[in-house]
Amino acid sequence: MAKAAAAAPAAAPGEEAPAKSKKPIILILVGVIALVVIVAGTMVGTLFITGFFNKPPPSADQLLAEDGHGADAHGAKPADAHGAKPADAHGAKPADAHGAKPADGKDAKGGKEVSGPPKLNKKSPDSPRFEYTYHQLKKDFLSNLMSSKKVMSIQISIMTRYDDRVFENVDKHEAALRSAVLDVLRQTTDADLVKPEFRKDLAIKIRDAMNSLLEKLEDFGGIEEVFFTSFVVQ
């Protein structure tokens, strides 16, 4: 009986052994969880610092699409790459960089549109008029009057507000122009000489004949006035 009683107290300490064996497992689990939390926190912090969670900037296509919707919403037409607006619905030409609209070029008679050289402005800022330039044809024009023994001898000078290309074209085609002028002169009669506007009308006919020939040869006339610097009939 005494041995049995002694054996009973010895068994009680043995029952605490399983409880003590669980503590290392719990510590290992806590350590693993803490390690996972640290690693996850480090990864999240790294991604946040590097901007992983920031909203990516819109692409160029998205910006163009947004601009297109914005322009259509207000009914306005977008500007081109140089900032210039297109022509309006009525076909009006846009103004240039200085706010001036381009002018339509016309010949001396004011009818047919031409694409000739630009007109020369006077350098004076107080005058918007164009600069007149003159060119004297070198040789005289000599022709008989129609059905008459009289002879007409003239010298002419032409005037233009365009640049020197008009005069260059006149010198270039001088032979053809002289022939055209002589054709006009030979149609003059004795009756024409007594008309009050004879010389004025003759100058207009010569101008139109020269411009017509230059437009045929150079696509532009440019002669605005013809002046007689010498006029003799005998």
CATH of the domain at 187: 3.30.479
Instruction: State the DSSP code for 139.
Output: S
pLDDT of residue 40: 85
Q: Is residue 119 part of a domain?
A: no
Supply the range of the domain harboring residue 183: 133-233
Residue 95, strand partner residues:
none
Share of the chain above pLDDT 70, in %: 57
Using CA atoms, how far residue 149 sits from 35, 63, 189, 198, 233, in Å, is 128, 86, 10, 19, 11
Q: Is residue 198 part of a domain?
A: yes
pLDDT in tens, 160-193: 998 889 999 999 999 999 999 999 999 999 999 9
Owner of token pair 């920031």: 54
* Ranges under pLDDT 50 in the chain: 1-14, 70-79, 81-84, 86-109, 111, 124-125, 127-128
Q: How many CA atoms lie within 13 A of 114 on its CB side?
A: 23
pLDDT of residue 171: 95
Q: Is residue 177 part of a domain?
A: yes
Q: Is residue 227 part of a domain?
A: yes
pLDDT in tens, 127-148: 445 789 999 999 999 999 999 9
Q: Is residue 161 part of a domain?
A: yes
Q: How many domains does the chain have?
A: 1
Closest CA to 163 of 117, 226, 224, 221: 117
How far apart are the C-alpha atoms of 208 and 180, rounded to whole Å? Answer: 10
pTM for the model: 0.48
pLDDT of residue 178: 96
Q: Is residue 139 part of a domain?
A: yes
Other beta carbons less than 10 A from residue 185's beta carbon:
19
Rounded to the nearest 5°, which phi and psi values hold at 192? -70, -30
First-to-final CA distance of the chain: 181
pLDDT of residue 94: 47
How far apart are the C-alpha atoms of 143 and 155, rounded to whole Å? Answer: 12
Q: Is residue 99 part of a domain?
A: no
Q: How far is CA 28 from the centre of its chain?
A: 77
Q: Is residue 94 part of a domain?
A: no
pLDDT of residue 49: 79
